[in-house]
Structure 1
């Protein structure tokens, strides 16, 4: 098959891994510095670990927050442009994904065989849409919050109020999304996907068993190239 090692299948190309880890690091730092601006660390952190003193400075956390907001915007823009140019939309939700997710979860709970799936499971596509909405809301409302700090620009009180409230809501949504994303790997079946986000490759038998529709597609592609 295309880009295949012995007993391995290439699932996540370098651009996907680049965006995944770039977004992950950006979000983690945005959460850390966002909490620092409240300011929680200076008020409630009784013991400050070595090297974390800067978290108590509003000015420093604001600058770091802005930096990682810019990196998040860069990685999301790169992600959109790359996949639009490549015309790759495998991760985008499809009709029937809610029912498909239910059937897969039901099969896992009852120990039954899961229905055949494509490159991405239905619940993975739904999770992707959730992150698109929550991260998109973080970016839009974050821009509104930045605008109020530009000299000579003064949005209405209503825009500032709802911008701040929705930014907080989006932040909570992102945090919940990250927790659910990590919790998914408690399920043994999902752990075989982890190597893909580091090396790009996943086990061929896993793909054959759990992503059989994608496996057949890859097999046909390989036969045409041979």
Structure 2
């Protein structure tokens, strides 16, 4: 009879909410943004059922605005939530590039990985990449919207660079998504997947791959036990 594996909470509800709302918003922004270029009417030979609205510039524009507003809300919520709670584990640290190289080298050579915290160095770097790309797409998106406000007319140079950088940001986000999903081709990384659905990952996985974080959890657990004894 198999014993039930112990679980550790890795991604609380707030993190999962931010992750999935951001993912859905970005997906909708990409497909509606491409619809405004317009690409579907020119190059899509077969129109799948239920996607005819993508041929309408007005429809894609309003859907684009709606999900842009949702993305901005979730970004500000994410920043405010973690700032108030002083949770900065995902912020890149000095030496993350070298540490990422060491971890990747260990995986390729099938050697034991260096001890890691709650987030791997490459996860912190990926977070910074997405933060920059999403920040750029929001700022340039606001510039593109400002031109539609009556009485406000940015210079042609601002509009040109705003549009170009907005497109660049979209490309960077797509590259980031491909790399993010591609990371799960590595078997060791797949054990993190349950955390984004249920919030929990196996205790053995944490103990083996995130040993520094595991030690912190043990210290917190001991402190809680001592407090209970005092009470």
Correspondence for 2:96: 97
Correspondence for 2:73: 74
Structure 1: how far apart are the matches of 2:111 and 2:192?
20
- Deviation of the 1:107 alpha carbon: 0.2
Correspondence for 2:40: 41
Correspondence for 2:53: 54
Structure 1: how far apart are the matches of 2:47 and 2:103?
45
* Structure 1 stretches of 4+ moved >2 Å: none
Aligned length: 222
Correspondence for 2:229: none
Structure 2: how far apart are the matches of 1:137 and 1:19?
18
Correspondence for 1:84: 83
Correspondence for 2:161: 162
Correspondence for 1:210: 209
**Contact kept in structure 1, 2:129 and 2:176, CA below 8 Å:** yes
The secondary structure found in structure 1 opposite 2:176 is helix
Q: TM-score, normalised by structure 2?
A: 0.95
Structure 1: how far apart are the matches of 2:86 and 2:5?
28
Residues 21-64 of structure 1: per-residue CA shift (max 9 Å, x gap): 01000000000000000111111111111110000000000000
Correspondence for 1:183: 182
The secondary structure found in structure 2 opposite 1:9 is strand
- Deviation of the 1:6 alpha carbon: 5.5
- Structure 2 unaligned regions, length at least 5: 226-231
**Contact kept in structure 1, 2:144 and 2:162, CA below 8 Å:** yes
2:149 counterpart of 1:135 = no
Q: TM-score, normalised by structure 1?
A: 0.97
Residues 90-112 of structure 1: per-residue CA shift (max 9 Å, x gap): 00000110110000000000000
Correspondence for 1:13: 12
- Structure 1 unaligned regions, length at least 5: none
- Deviation of the 1:224 alpha carbon: 1.2
- Deviation of the 1:181 alpha carbon: 0.3
**Contact kept in structure 1, 2:5 and 2:202, CA below 8 Å:** no
Structure 2: how far apart are the matches of 1:175 and 1:148?
26
Correspondence for 2:172: 173
Structure 2: how far apart are the matches of 1:83 and 1:6?
30
Structure 2: how far apart are the matches of 1:196 and 1:146?
37
**Contact kept in structure 1, 2:115 and 2:212, CA below 8 Å:** yes
Structure 2: how far apart are the matches of 1:174 and 1:6?
36
- Deviation of the 1:116 alpha carbon: 0.2
Correspondence for 1:110: 109
Structure 2: how far apart are the matches of 1:97 and 1:40?
39
Structure 2: how far apart are the matches of 1:174 and 1:152?
32
Structure 2: how far apart are the matches of 1:16 and 1:197?
8
